[in-house]
Amino acid sequence: MRHYAPWQPDEIETLQREYPDGGYKRVGQLLPHRSLDTIRMRAHALGVRSKRGRQAAAARMARP
C-alpha cells in the first residue's frame, strides 16, 4: 500500500476551484504528483462534484 503526502491547503484550493468545470483530468494536469484516483477520492471526501457528472446524470434521468 502506498502512502501519499497529506494534501496541502493550496492543493485543496486547486481541487475545489478546478474540479467542478474541468474534472479530475484537469486537476491531474495541475497536480501531476497526485494520481487521478486520489484526486477523485479527495473530491468525493470534500463533497466537490463535477458539473459534467451532474449534467450527465440529469440527461440519463430525463430519458424515457
C-alpha cell, 33: 504528483
| Rounded to 5°, angle at Cα 9 from 48 and 31 | 70
Which residues lie closer than 8 Å to 21 by C-beta, 6 or more apart?
50, 51
Q: pLDDT tens-digit profile of 8-54?
A: 999 999 999 999 999 999 999 999 999 999 999 999 999 999 987 65
How many residues in total does the chain contain? 64
pTM over 0.85: no
Helix axes 9-30, 36-46, angle to 10 degrees: 140
